[in-house]
Structure 1
Amino acid sequence: MNFTLSSKPISDIKADCLVVALPEKGDWPASTTQANEALGGLIKTLHKNGDATGKNATTLQMPLDGQPWARLLVVGTGADKDRTPANYRKALIAMAGQIKDGPSKHVLVGLGDTLVTGDDATGSEAARLSLIGRTLEEQFYRFTEFKSEKPSDRKLGKITVAASSAGKAMKDAFNLGLATGRGMNFTRDLGNTPPNICHPVWLAEQAQKLAKAHDCIKTEILDEKQMKKLGMNTILAVGQGSTQPPRFIIMEYSGGKAKDKPHVLVGKGITFDTGGISLKPGEGMDEMKYDMGGSASVLGTMQVIAETKPKINIVAVIAAAENMPDGGATRPGDIVTTMSGQTVEILNTDAEGRLVLCDALTYVKRYNPASVLDMATLTGACIIALGHQASAVFSNDDELANEVLAAGERAGDRAWRLPLWDEYQSQLDSNFADMQNIGGRPAGSITAACFLSRFAKDYRWAHLDIAGTAWNSGKAKGSTGRPVPLLVDYLMSHAGK
């Protein structure tokens, strides 16, 4: 797809389809006013007669004759006071749904001057252009790698987005949005790849390919012997029931000053989770290929970083393993010594994500990080608590937690903070080891985070439980690409500082 930003008047840009915004009430954007004048008052008539109501995310498409555009697509954007970034994004998604498989080869999008509530971070034209770019890339996604009959190529090949300026600031914002969308799609590709292909070694190979494609990324892969030497016994314990060996993936990006502390991303990379000896029910188990959603989002974020090259230092690590049952698998009741030296009684082998993460959280201490964010499809309890709308955030630092939540709001990739109080820690008490790996049914997401917190005491740390947001089930089954937008926004907010 060819994406272009143009500051020319829309009447000077020929296209197969012109897209304009129509508020339900309130002042019209300049581009809509210009289009209405060029069309002899057509848009005003459509609104007055009720053919185009302006209600948010409604659409009306119609053919034109004798105009620079072959057809017109009117997208409702609601009332000014209700046009939050989230509602604006709904309108963009509705627009993308109309054009992606339509007859137009070239679409001119005039939605960049639509007012959105919020400060410069969410309501500025640069923010809107970034969201347009990201939404277009994201909505045009298709995963057809394993289809014997490929769908026909789309007719749409070019999109021009109208802007007040096509200068560096606007282009950078638009390109960041496009890059974020591509990073989300890379994350989705990884998640949607079947587990007979996407295993720990394959995941490590994808990190190596990313480094090969972008020389600003340095990648190192640790195998079982190297992990054993480091004392990463819990990662090895999770993977010992599988014929697919675990891998520990390290990626470094040095875009800031040499003395700047890096921001660290940690991803859970369970490429398939049967539950191990604590076997999961068979129904829906195929979706456990998405248990590497945390690692996929880390790789997707690093692709965005590699494309945009912000002035910041970043370290990303992925603990990758496959959790399978066999004669060599970890048993309930086994006790394992973590890399930190703390011992864990494994009471449930299906609580494996925290086991691979705890060694990763110990490993990253060596970087003296400015912050550490881990992403994991960790607990079903998180879905019960928050559904599929928000990721859960836990943190040992209030300022960091607020930064993560704010990044999610700006990016429309929302999160909600849950407590990490000491009173929950006692649920992890073990009679035989320093701790056990489950805390019972009450507050399951919280006790999982409490477990991780014991390995993240030496730095500012936040844990994102993305079990409810990393993929969709049912008819729309597939990886979502979240929380790449949140992570990109968080990192960019620290670039150059």
Structure 2
Amino acid sequence: MDYSIKSEAPDKISDDCLIVGFYAKRKLGPTAAALDQLHDGLLTRLLKRDDIEGKTGDILLVNPLPHGKTERLLLVGLGKAEELNIAAYRKALAAAIKALKDNAVKSAASALHEAEVKGLALDGKIRQNIEVFENALYQFTQLKSDKTQIKPARLAKLNFLVDGDSHQAQAELGVKQGKAIADAMLQVRDLANLPGNICTPSYLAEQAVKLGKAHKKLKTKVLDESDLEELGMGSFLSVSKGSRQPARLIVLEYQGASAKTKPYVLVGKGLTFDAGGISLKPAANMDEMKYDMCGGASVIGALSVAAELALPINVVGLIPASENLPDGNANKPGDVVTSMAGLTIEILNTDAEGRLILCDTLTYAKRYDPVAVIDVATLTGACIVALGRHPSGLISNDDELSAQITDAGERAADRVWRLPLWDEYQEQLKSNFADIANIGGPDGGTITAGAFLSRFTKDYKWAHLDIAGTAWKTGADKGATGRPVPLLAQYLIDRAQ
């Protein structure tokens, strides 16, 4: 969709629909109040007539308007002005785009960003508009054979009304960032929604190479299994032994600063399908294990944002890509493998494979002498049990890094919740036959997974994001969400500033 900034008066706008906000007790926002005066109190009368109070997400479509060039006016409830936070604002935006879609609007102008939202400046509000609207307009249609059954959204243009030149630059920044982040989220959703027979490790690598070719400052290289063997990545390679698809380590290097500047490293789990290996998963909902590569896809998305915005920092993306399937050559419970770090690992459950490919990649990350490393993985179902599907789980060995990620998540509406990394949890990973076991029993599964990874991150600042509950939706609305691209993007933007 096309987004632009306009400084025209509301009554001069010629778009199909004008979107304005109002608050609890029918208190009109500035633009709505001006229009109400222009139309002799029409908006106030209609709100009272239909008994619409102004709760968050309330909608009133006025059609047609008696004066001005715009035929339709969409009033959107924002709740109590003093309580308008990011979550409530996004709820109101979601209601607005639903109404636009339901009424086949082709172009719209919006003043919703004039509302005061806790924690958001003008650029942040415009970013949220774009992210919410693009999310609502998204359709995965690549594999539909009958294209005539697809109803594309008619909305093609959204103008943001900005009063005067003083806010122009900030508004344009919001559009630029919002478009870059939204586009990256759509790319991630497309990749993740593809089935495992199409989106293989090699296919994922090909998409990363395409991204690298599209940006001069972004270089891509792909390590094959012989390269991984030479590096001593015995843990990573053990996972792919049961698959006919060869493993790949995808390396994306974005250079926005001098070559001497230390990079931020993002590591994303790229399991393009996870059947659990010999520790086979139950059949119910196993199709959703195509989403086990959402961490890797999100890292590709985050590098895309960095390149698109030309951020003045260096960022490295590392994506270990593999499948985890049962086979005569697959890992068996009780097998012992040797990681790149030299630690031996007893595999007690082959379905705890994500940590086996991540640990070698986290060891590989050390060669970049990073400022910080963040790994992103759909790692444990235990995270959903602990936190539900609203925040991602956060585990870190550094308080400052943890605070930076938490703050970025709050402002990006892509929240995290920190879990402890106490030494007591390491006790659960003891093995009688190797240096470490790959599971820690049924208690605190998300934390013991993080504790396992922490054994390989002692040389740098590190954080782990468990996105098992946030990377995709299940049920009737099944599909990838594009998270945590907004969080990663905000973190990188903050570092650039």
Q: TM-score range by the shorter chain?
A: over 0.9
Distance 1:180 1:439 in 2: 37
Distance 1:105 1:390 in 2: 34
Alignment deviations for residues 337-381 of structure 1 (CA, whole Å, 9 cap, x no partner): 100111101111000000000001000001111110000000011
Question: Shift of the alpha carbon at 1:167?
Answer: 2.6
Give yes or no for the alignment of 1:284 onto 2:295. Answer: no
Report the residue type matching 1:234 in the other structure. Answer: S
Q: Is the 2:199–2:272 Cα contact (8 Å) retained in structure 1?
A: yes
1:145-184 equivalent positions in 2, closer than 5 A: 145-150=142-147, 151-164=150-163, 165=165, 167-184=168-185
Report the residue type matching 1:263 in the other structure. Answer: Y
Distance 1:37 1:77 in 2: 20
Q: Is the 2:4–2:175 Cα contact (8 Å) retained in structure 1?
A: no
Question: Shift of the alpha carbon at 1:28?
Answer: 3.6
Q: Which residue of 1 aligns with 2:32?
A: 32
Distance 1:136 1:112 in 2: 13
Alignment deviations for residues 129-164 of structure 1 (CA, whole Å, 9 cap, x no partner): 121122222221111111112213332222111123
Distance 2:28 2:61 in 1: 18
Q: Which residue of 2 aligns with 1:108?
A: 109
Question: Shift of the alpha carbon at 1:47?
Answer: 2.8
Greater Cα offset, 103-112 or 376-385: 103-112
Question: Shift of the alpha carbon at 1:40?
Answer: 2.5
Question: Shift of the alpha carbon at 1:428?
Answer: 0.5
Distance 1:26 1:107 in 2: 23
Distance 1:308 1:139 in 2: 23
Alignment deviations for residues 45-93 of structure 1 (CA, whole Å, 9 cap, x no partner): 1233344321001112231144311111111000012100111011011
SS of 1:328's partner is coil
Aligned residues: 492
Alignment deviations for residues 295-340 of structure 1 (CA, whole Å, 9 cap, x no partner): 0111111121221111111000000000011111111111111001
Distance 2:411 2:26 in 1: 24
Distance 2:83 2:347 in 1: 49
Q: Is the 2:295–2:467 Cα contact (8 Å) retained in structure 1?
A: yes
Distance 2:94 2:430 in 1: 48
Question: Shift of the alpha carbon at 1:26?
Answer: 8.3
Distance 1:375 1:144 in 2: 27
Q: Is the 1:24–1:54 Cα contact (8 Å) retained in structure 2?
A: yes
Identical amino acids, percent of aligned pairs: 50
Distance 2:26 2:303 in 1: 41
Q: Is the 2:56–2:92 Cα contact (8 Å) retained in structure 1?
A: yes
Question: Shift of the alpha carbon at 1:232?
Answer: 1.0
Distance 1:329 1:483 in 2: 31
Report the residue type matching 1:63 in the other structure. Answer: N
Q: Is the 2:243–2:324 Cα contact (8 Å) retained in structure 1?
A: yes
Q: Which residue of 2 aligns with 1:54?
A: 54
Q: Is the 1:102–1:155 Cα contact (8 Å) retained in structure 2?
A: no
SS of 2:242's partner is coil
Greater Cα offset, 65-74 or 295-304: 65-74
Distance 2:295 2:280 in 1: 22
User: Where do 5+ consecutive residues of structure 1 fail to align?
Assistant: none
Distance 1:25 1:457 in 2: 55
Distance 1:39 1:307 in 2: 43
1:170-319 equivalent positions in 2, closer than 5 A: 170-319=171-320
Report the residue type matching 2:419 in the other structure. Answer: L
Distance 2:11 2:219 in 1: 47
TM score, norm. by length of structure 2: 0.97
Q: Is the 1:29–1:115 Cα contact (8 Å) retained in structure 2?
A: no
SS of 2:159's partner is strand
Report the residue type matching 1:342 in the other structure. Answer: L
1:131 paired residue among 108, 112, 128: 128
Shift of the 398–471 alpha-carbon distance from structure 1 to 2, 3 Å rule, reads same
TM score, norm. by length of structure 1: 0.97
Distance 2:87 2:203 in 1: 36
Question: Shift of the alpha carbon at 1:269?
Answer: 0.4
Q: Which residue of 2 aligns with 1:462?
A: 463
Q: Which residue of 1 aligns with 2:17?
A: 17
Distance 1:399 1:239 in 2: 36
SS of 1:8's partner is coil
Greater Cα offset, 131-140 or 384-393: 131-140
Report the residue type matching 1:158 in the other structure. Answer: K
SS of 1:189's partner is helix
Q: Is the 1:238–1:355 Cα contact (8 Å) retained in structure 2?
A: yes
Q: Which residue of 1 aligns with 2:338?
A: 337
Q: Which residue of 2 aligns with 1:444?
A: 445
Distance 2:395 2:404 in 1: 12
Greater Cα offset, 20-29 or 103-112: 20-29
Q: Which residue of 1 aligns with 2:137?
A: 140
Shift of the 207–101 alpha-carbon distance from structure 1 to 2, 3 Å rule, reads farther
Q: Is the 2:267–2:317 Cα contact (8 Å) retained in structure 1?
A: yes
Distance 1:446 1:104 in 2: 47
Question: Shift of the alpha carbon at 1:222?
Answer: 0.1
Alignment deviations for residues 85-138 of structure 1 (CA, whole Å, 9 cap, x no partner): 1110110111111113532221111111011123xxx2x222211211222222
Q: Is the 2:293–2:378 Cα contact (8 Å) retained in structure 1?
A: yes
User: Where do 5+ consecutive residues of structure 2 fail to align?
Assistant: none
Shift of the 101–216 alpha-carbon distance from structure 1 to 2, 3 Å rule, reads farther
Distance 2:101 2:435 in 1: 55
